[in-house]
C-alpha cells in the first residue's frame, strides 16, 4: 500500500495528465455519439448569454442585408399578387407618314433584378423574345440610360448595366456637342466618368451629358447625367470629367427597351466603309 502511494506521489503529474486526457477524449466520443446531450455546449446559460449579447452588436452590421432580404420578399409577394400579372400584348405606337420613317420602337419593361454594388453589375427585365426584345437593344428609363441587352430568353432579358466597367457609351455635352466616352470606374453607383473630352472646351459643373446617338444603339439625346467635377489632367490632352447619374439605380423599376429599326442598315454601311 505504501509503495502504491509512493508510486502515485512520484508520478502524480503523469497520472493526472493521463486522467484528464482520458476524460477529454471520453467527452469527445460521448459528445459525438449523443449530440448535445451534455450541458456543456453553446446553448447553455453562460455561452448562450455571451452569444446573445454578441449578436446584439453584430446584428447591426447585417441590418442592410436583412432589409434587402425583406424588400426582396415583399417584391416576391407583390409578384404573386394578381396585379402583377400583365397581358403579354405590348402595344407599339407606330406613325404612318411618308415623310417620317420610324427609327425607334419602345417596349416597356420592369426591372426584376438589379445590383449596384458589384464591380460589374447586371440587371434582369421581365421582357424577352416573346415581347420583341433582342440582343444589343438599348435600355433607358425616364431619367437616363440604363444599359444594353446582353442576353434574352423567351420571357426575360439580361442587361449589362451602365454600372459595368465593360460598357462604354458614346456621350455628348448637350450645350456644345463635344463627344466622349462614358465608362463606369467602379465604386460609387452615383458617379461615372466621361473620357476623351479635349482640354480646351469650356465645361462647368451642372452641364448636361446626353447620348450622342453615334453607336446605333441609343437614340440621340437620351439623358445620361450632370457634370459633377471637371479636372485638368497635368500634361494630358483630355479632361477628367466626373458625371453624376440623373437616374438613381438603387430604385430603378420601370424602364424601356429601345429597338433601333435602322440599326442593321447603319452597321452594314459602316462596316462596308471600314473594309475599304
Q: Which residues bind another protein (CB under 8 A)?
A: 12-13, 16-17, 20-21, 23-31, 38, 40-42, 44, 46-47, 50-51, 54
**Type and span of the H or E element at 74:** helix 63-80
Please identify, using beta-carbon distances, which residue of 32 and 81 lies nearer to another protein.
32
Q: Is 225 helix (H, G, I), strand (E, B) or coil?
A: strand
Which of 32, 98 has the CB closer to another protein? 32
User: Taking the complex as a whole, how short is the minimal distance between the CB of residue 117 and another protein, in angstroms?
Assistant: 22
Grid cell in block for residue 57:
452588436
Extract the C-alpha cell encoding 269: 454601311
Instruction: Find the shortest distance in angstroms from Cβ 47 to another protein.
Output: 5
Question: What's the grid cell of residue 97?
Answer: 407618314
Q: How far is the CB of 6 from another protein (least distance, A)?
A: 17
Give the CA diameter of the chain: 122
Torsions phi, psi for 126 (to 5 deg): -90, 30
Count other Cβ atoms within 10 Å, centred on residue 149. Answer: 24
| 221-241 per-residue burial string, b: 16 or more CB within 10 A, e: under 16 | ebbbbebbebeeeeeeeebeb
The least CB distance from residue 26 to another protein, in Å, is 7
| CA atoms of 169 and 143, how far apart (whole Å) | 16
Cβ at position 224, least distance to another protein in Å? 42
CB of 38 to another protein, least distance (A): 6
Record the cell numbers describing residue 196, joined without a space: 476623351
Name the residue nearer to another protein (CB basis): 20 or 71: 20
> Is 46 or 274 the residue whose CB approaches another protein more closely?
46
CB of residue 32 to another protein, shortest distance in Å: 8
Residue among 17 and 77 whose Cβ is closer to another protein: 17
Q: Which single residue is written with the C-alpha cell 417596349?
A: 107
Q: Which is nearer to another protein, 7 or 26 (CB)?
A: 26
| CB neighbour class for 91 (10 Å; exposed up to 12, middle 13-18, buried from 19) | exposed
Nearer to another protein, 41 or 142 (CB): 41
Q: For residue 134, report the phi and psi dihedrals to the nearest 5 degrees.
A: -140, 170
The answer to whether the CB of 185 falls within 8 A of the CB of 166 is no
Amino acid at each position: 500500500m505504501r509503495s502504491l502511494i509512493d508510486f502515485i506521489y512520484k508520478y502524480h503529474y503523469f497520472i493526472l495528465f493521463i486522467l484528464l486526457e482520458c476524460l477529454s477524449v471520453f467527452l469527445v466520443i460521448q459528445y459525438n455519439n449523443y449530440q448535445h446531450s451534455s450541458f456543456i455546449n453553446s446553448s447553455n446559460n453562460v455561452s448562450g448569454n455571451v452569444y446573445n449579447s454578441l449578436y446584439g452588436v453584430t446584428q447591426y452590421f447585417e441590418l442592410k442585408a436583412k432589409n434587402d432580404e425583406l424588400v426582396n420578399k415583399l417584391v416576391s409577394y407583390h409578384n404573386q399578387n394578381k396585379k402583377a400579372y400583365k397581358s403579354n400584348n405590348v402595344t407599339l405606337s407606330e406613325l404612318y407618314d411618308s415623310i417620317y420613317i420610324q427609327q425607334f420602337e419602345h417596349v416597356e419593361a420592369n426591372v426584376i433584378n438589379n445590383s449596384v454594388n458589384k464591380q460589374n453589375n447586371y440587371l434582369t427585365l421581365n421582357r424577352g423574345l416573346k415581347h420583341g426584345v433582342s440582343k444589343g437593344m438599348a435600355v433607358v428609363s425616364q431619367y437616363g440610360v440604363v444599359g444594353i441587352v446582353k442576353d434574352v430568353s423567351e420571357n426575360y432579358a439580361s442587361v449589362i448595366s451602365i454600372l459595368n466597367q465593360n460598357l462604354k457609351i458614346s456621350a455628348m455635352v448637350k450645350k456644345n456637342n463635344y463627344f466622349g466616352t462614358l465608362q463606369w470606374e467602379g465604386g460609387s453607383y452615383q458617379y461615372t466618368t466621361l473620357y476623351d473630352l479635349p482640354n480646351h472646351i469650356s465645361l462647368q459643373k451642372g452641364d448636361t451629358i446626353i447620348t450622342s446617338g453615334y453607336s446605333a444603339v441609343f437614340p440621340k439625346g437620351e439623358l445620361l447625367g450632370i457634370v459633377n467635377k471637371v479636372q485638368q489632367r497635368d500634361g494630358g490632352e483630355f479632361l477628367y470629367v466626373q458625371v453624376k447619374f440623373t437616374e438613381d439605380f438603387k430604385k430603378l423599376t420601370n424602364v424601356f427597351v429601345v429597338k433601333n429599326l435602322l440599326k442593321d442598315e447603319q452597321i452594314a454601311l459602316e462596316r462596308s466603309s471600314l473594309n475599304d
